[in-house]
């Protein structure tokens, strides 16, 4: 019996900013890994580290009984999981799939129903922590769905994360992830506004960073964004495009729930301005450049 058919092998589709470091940590944990991405170069980089490269998503499902989907958008996840040539085509009863992408909760639930009809287990388990914690293997994981399916990924989650939260019914993990992202994005806009005010007033940015760090205005967003704004380091981990995609999911969910989200809606427009100004593929720290332009501030 092969490692894949015995349930040992792990498959991972999507080798982007989060998926690639997660794949490396799975290999470091000694788990057999099969990978697939539409970018062949990303696959070859993992092959060099010991991963097996699949020819397609369905081919990957034929080689691994436990599979992670880590793509960017809802449309991509639907295509990878239940689309033509997707995981569902190669999976057999008893296979288990964990969608660790941040996508629409409604689609998570619909895919679970489709896969249950094939006797394939499906959970959502999006992550938080950004690329730095993905590299360190210390992500927070928001898992929801059947406990038995979550249990099947215990060693995989241990390889990529530090904390696993079990959140009940399918889709609840993704809802928590969207709330978490919404709070971070709103705070990131506030950080850019505060930094811009300080710059315009002639406050030394590094001093401002240290003062807020020791005061009541401190937040994770301040610690993650302010140093990068000061250093003019806008290289992407995540990008404004990805954040905007998540904001679309957040505001859509709020509408479905009938909950007003004023700050989320306003922050989304700031990210949209950044995208229109040419910063779509830069880190959210580039929000400072939006305010520099709006406030006529010399960088």
Q: What number of CA atoms fall less than 13 Å from residue 138's CA on the CB side? A: 3
| Whether pLDDT at 1 is above 50 | no
Options 3.40.50.300, 3.20.20.70, 3.40.50.720, 3.40.50.1950; CATH of 10-170: 3.40.50.720
Mean per-residue pLDDT of the chain? 94
* Residue 284: closest CA among 218, 234, 247: 234
| Whether pLDDT at 6 is above 60 | no
Q: What is the pTM of this model?
A: 0.91
| Whether pLDDT at 299 is above 90 | no
**pLDDT tens digits for 173-218?**
999 999 999 999 999 999 999 999 999 999 999 999 999 999 999 9
**pLDDT tens digits for 112-153?**
999 999 999 999 999 998 888 999 999 999 999 999 999 999
Give the mean pLDDT of 267-286. 96
Give the mean pLDDT of 28-37. 96
User: Which ranges in the chain are annotated with CATH 1.10.1040.10?
Assistant: 175-294
User: Which ranges in the chain are annotated with CATH 3.40.50.720?
Assistant: 10-170
User: Which fold does the domain 175-294 belong to in CATH?
Assistant: 1.10.1040
Percent residues over pLDDT 70 in the chain: 98
pLDDT at 180: 95
Q: Whole-angstrom Cα distance, residue 23 to residue 28? A: 9
**pLDDT tens digits for 148-185?**
999 999 999 999 999 999 999 999 999 999 999 999 99
**pLDDT tens digits for 9-26?**
999 999 998 999 999 999
pLDDT at 7: 57
What DSSP string describes the chain?
A: --TTTTT--EEEE--STTHHHHHHHHHHTT--EEEE-S-HHHHHHHHTTT-EE-SSHHHHHTT-SEEEE--SSHHHHHHHHHSTTSHHHH--TT-EEEE-S---HHHHHHHHHHHHTTT-EEEE--EESHHHHHHHT-EEEEEBS-HHHHHHTHHHHHHHEEEEEE-SSTTHHHHHHHHHHHHHHHHHHHHHHHHHHHHHHT--HHHHHHHHHTSTT--HHHHHHHHHHHHT----SS-HHHHHHHHHHHHHHHHHHT---HHHHHHHHHHHHHIIIIITTS-GGGHHHHHHHHTT---
Give the mean pLDDT of 70-91. 94
């Amino acid at each position: 019996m092969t490692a894949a058919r015995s349930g040992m092998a792990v498959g991972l589709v999507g080798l982007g900013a989060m998926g690639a470091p997660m794949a490396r940590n799975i290999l470091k944990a000694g788990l057999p890994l099969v990978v697939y991405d539409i970018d062949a170069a990303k696959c070859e980089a993992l092959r060099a580290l010991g991963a097996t490269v699949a020819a397609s998503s369905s081919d990957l499902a034929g080689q691994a009984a436990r599979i992670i989907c880590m793509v960017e958008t809802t449309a991509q996840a639907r295509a990878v999981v239940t689309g033509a040539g997707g995981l569902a085509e190669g999976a057999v009863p008893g296979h288990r799939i964990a969608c660790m992408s941040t996508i629409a909760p409604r689609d998570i639930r619909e895919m679970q129903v489709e896969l249950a009809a094939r006797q394939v287990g499906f959970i959502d388990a999006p992550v938080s922590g950004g690329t730095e914690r993905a590299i360190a293997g210390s992500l927070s994981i928001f898992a929801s769905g059947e406990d038995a399916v979550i249990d099947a990924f215990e060693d995989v989650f241990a390889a990529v994360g530090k904390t696993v939260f079990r959140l009940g019914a399918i889709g609840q993990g993704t809802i928590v992830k969207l709330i978490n992202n919404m709070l971070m994005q709103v705070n990131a806009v506030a950080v850019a506004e505060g930094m811009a005010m300080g710059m315009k007033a002639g406050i030394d940015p590094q001093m401002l960073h240290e003062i807020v760090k020791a005061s009541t205005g401190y937040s994770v967003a301040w610690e993650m964004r302010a140093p990068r704004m000061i250093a003019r380091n806008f290289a992407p981990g995540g990008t404004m495009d990805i954040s905007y995609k998540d904001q679309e999911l957040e505001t859509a969910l709020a509408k479905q729930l009938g909950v007003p989200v004023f700050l989320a809606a306003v922050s989304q427009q700031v990210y949209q301005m950044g995208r229109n100004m040419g910063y779509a593929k830069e880190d959210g720290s580039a929000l400072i450049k939006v305010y520099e332009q709006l406030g006529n501030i010399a960088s």
